Structure 1
Amino acid sequence: MDTKYTRKDINEYTHEFELTIPFESFNHSYELMLKDYSKDLDLKGFRKGKVPSNLVSPQVKEVVKYETFEKLAPLYINTAVEKENLVPIAPYEFKEIPKFLENLDIPFTITVTTMPKFTLGNMKKVKVTKEVASVDEKEIDQAIEELKTSQKTETKEVNDAWAKEIGKVIGEETITTLKELREKIKSALQVQKEHYQMHKMQDEALKLAIKESKIEIPQPAVDFEASEREKAFNEDMKSRGVSIDDFLKANNITIEKMRELWQMDAKEAIESDVFLSLFAETKEVQVSDEELEEKIESIKKERPDADQSVFSNLEWREYVKRVEVKEKAFRLFIEEVLGKEFLDSHN
């Protein structure tokens, strides 16, 4: 297919393409689609499916022209984009509605958004204050009160007997005194706080690293990702038989606020993904064949009922490898910036 186009770079990540669909190619596809379209027309004096194309109304012909364009345009766009070695990160945008003039080529203009090139910043500048997690007596008292409210016990007064009953309820039958229960609660709260604190520091380090690397995501990519989140939300509500209006009212939130949150979430997700890819590339992080096979085997065990052909699919395996590279990069990043002690079993 002969693709005629010119490329103009608006900025580092926005590229404008002026393309042309030759009239002969367009008209050939148009005539075929019009013929196919006329098969469903029911016109007085003609059997259904036997209506000549020249009797189709101008309005219908115009619709078919647009449908023909929608079918052909992506072929010409993708060919041009591939020739230019560009990787779009959002759907391309048409600058204007094309005009279909008789016996003339079809020119149209689109903009393509790609990811800018970034350079990994100085990770030594990423400093996160390490806070000490601690549990005070007030928090333990609050946990005791919650247990008293939520659990039914024969003993009503908070004492050793009550603590022993609670111990059995929560699967800690070795607890025989209130003091032991308080110590157990303190230990559990301490673990929770340390876990929360660790992930908070990981998130903060990642945000600082993104800022240090001057990663700024083009808005079209954020808009597209946010729209995908909204689409998934709508489909989820539909599958659950829940009205979106009812959901919004029940959660005291507006759709505008939801869209704002989707925008924020999309932006942060893309920034993190881009940074980890950049970090992995800069640090030459790789996943060996053995590591990949080990990961795939673990997935197989987690999904015993899955279609086994999936596990040999090359595209799927490549996807798993990319994910593993980023996870490995994240572990290396945290270890380098915060230290090994800030990695848990999930990292």
Structure 2
Amino acid sequence: MAKEYTYTKEVDKSGKITLKVQVQKEKFAATKEKTYTRLSQDVKVSGFRPGKAPKAVIESKIGPDLFEKTLNDLLPEVTFDILQEEGLEPLNRLKYNVKKVSDDEGVEYEAEFVEYPKFKLGDMKKIKVKEEAVEVAKEDIDAEKKRILDIYNKQKKAEADSDKKEYTDATELTDAIVTDMKLGMDTVAKLEEQIKHQLEHQKKHLAEDKKVQDMLDEAIKLSKIKVPQAIVDEEIERQEADYKARIEQLGLKLEDFLKAQKTSLDELKKTWNESAEKRIATELLLFEIVKVEKIQVTQEELSREIASIQDPKMKEEYASEAGQRFVMSVILQQKAINWLRETVEGKKQPAIIIPEGVDTGKE
């Protein structure tokens, strides 16, 4: 039996792979016939049972859909066979570009993608992360007191203006002002204690986040993960399009906005490049941990996390099939991070808790 297709493979410097494929006319005809049979069942022709009307009549009613849906069936099928044959694993969604299609010549098309980079997880027990001491300085408390006093002065000035009265800004917080602000306390000392507690809480969270990020950075280095530039470029293109759209929504010209910000698109792209590369490397690391360590999410865990979402609209969104897949990916990533922390720190991590918004990058 003659091969149903031929192909060549090209790889550029950025890591992008292009498959150039020629599908024989016989394969195209066979796929088109299967697609026709499927679509014909939905075509209604007076006097005929579904799919039993003359072929020419049915094809005229299906119209261009026949070619389009044939290609939608054919291209992924042939490309999947080639990927299997070559042992290739795409990192991103394949992009198809149809060059020619006809009953006489078959189909000529290209499929572009970036291959999943091959790497082996490093020895995570070698990672050493320094614990940062959390301290709240007097200057931190004073700065927060000043911010609170500024808010108080603005409110009082607005009230005075509405009553057409004069108001002189208070220069320091007093027990009377603290009481007047109705913060649930009546002295500056109690306010300072509350401020210190809140700042300690914030700094502990920041220190914890930094510690985890340091672990991830070291794990990426140990695993020698190299992110293909092509996938980074793809991410930068998306960020650029989003950025331009946001500026336009504000009714501003991109050039004027960049000038006012004293930056350029090239400078922004450099920043985006660094952050995109780091983010993708982290995702690759966590995915590999999930795969190697056979980490799974149970249906009970998934249902529990979705049930814990308070916002009804958000809960409905994440209860959908696509939403559940996303929540599952978030839980898997968090489990992978917990595995890394347990390996590095040698102590059990708390159960997975997804923040209320599940706001971790859903597109």
Relative to the length of structure 1, the TM-score reads: 0.69
Give the direction of change, closer, same or farther, for the CA distance of 1:276–1:143 in structure 2 (3 Å limit).
Answer: same
Match in the other structure for 1:311: 319
CA distance in 1, matches of 2:258, 2:169: 42
Judged with a 3 Å threshold, the aligned counterparts in structure 2 of structure 1 residues 193 and 322 are, in CA distance, closer, same or farther, namely closer
Q: How many angstroms apart in 2 are the aligned matches of 1:343 and 1:257?
A: 41
In the TM superposition, residue 135 of structure 1 has moved relative to its aligned partner by 1.6
Alignment partner, residue 343 of structure 2:
336
Q: 2:6 aligns with which of 4, 7, 16?
A: 4
User: How many correspondences in the alignment?
Assistant: 295
Is the contact made by 1:277 and 1:326 (CA closer than 8 Å) also made in structure 2?
yes
SS where residue 151 of structure 1 aligns?
A: helix
> Whole-Å Cα distance in 2 between the matches of residues 183 and 297 of structure 1?
36
Contact kept, 8 Å, 1:198 with 1:342, in 2: the verdict is no
Aligned to 1:82: 80
CA distance in 2 between partners of 1:23 and 1:224 (Å): 34
Residue-by-residue CA offset, 1:192-240 (whole Å, 9 max, x unaligned): 2222111111111111111111111111011111111112222333344
CA apart distance, 1:167: 5.1
Distance 1:219 1:93, change over 3 A: farther
Q: Deviations over 1:256-315 (max 9, x none)?
A: 11112221222122111111111112222111111112223234x42337767x7353x4
Taking the aligned partners of 2:193 and 2:116, their CA distance within structure 1 comes to 52
Change (3 A) 1:158 1:113: closer
Question: In the alignment, which of 165, 171, 175 is matched to residue 177 of structure 2?
Answer: 165
Distance 1:138 1:298, change over 3 A: closer
Are 2:167 and 1:156 aligned?
no
- Note if 1:302 corresponds to 2:283: no
Given that 1:4 and 1:19 are in contact with CA atoms closer than 8 Å, whether structure 2 keeps it comes out as yes
Query: Would you say the 8 A contact 2:220–2:285 is kept in 1?
Result: yes
Deviation of 1:346 (Å): 5.7
Residue deviations 1:86-105 (CA, integer Å, cap 9, x gap): 4433476899x9799xx988
Question: Counterpart in 2 of 1:196?
Answer: 206
Shift of 1:324: 1.8
Paired position in structure 2 for 1:65 = none
The CA deviation string for residues 17-47 of structure 1, in whole angstroms up to 9 with x for no partner, is 3422558979xx9xxxxxxxxxxxxxxxxxx
Partner residue in 1 for 2:185: 174
2:247 equivalent among 237, 251, 262 = 237
What does residue 67 of structure 1 align with? none
Q: Cα offset for 1:72?
A: 9.4
CA RMSD of aligned residues (A): 4.0
Equivalent position to 2:21, from 8, 19, 22: 19
Query: Which residue of the partner structure matches residue 50 of structure 1?
Result: none
> In the alignment, which residue of structure 2 is the partner of 1:222?
232
Q: Could you report, residue by residue, the CA deviation over 1:123-174 in whole angstroms, capped at 9, with x for unpaired residues?
A: 1111111110112222223333333334226883536xx24413552x5332
Tell me, in whole angstroms, the C-alpha distance in 2 between the residues paired with 1:216 and 1:157.
56
Identity across the alignment (%): 24
Q: Any idea what the Cα deviations from partners look like across 1:37-89, whole Å, max 9, x if unmatched?
A: xxxxxxxxxxxxxxxxxxxxxxxxxxxxxxxxx99998775444311234433
SS in 2 for 1:17: strand
Identify the residue that residue 137 of structure 1 maps to in structure 2.
138
CA 1:317–1:341 in structure 2 vs 1: closer, same or farther (change >3 Å)? Answer: closer
Gap runs ≥5 in structure 2: 33-67, 157-167, 356-363
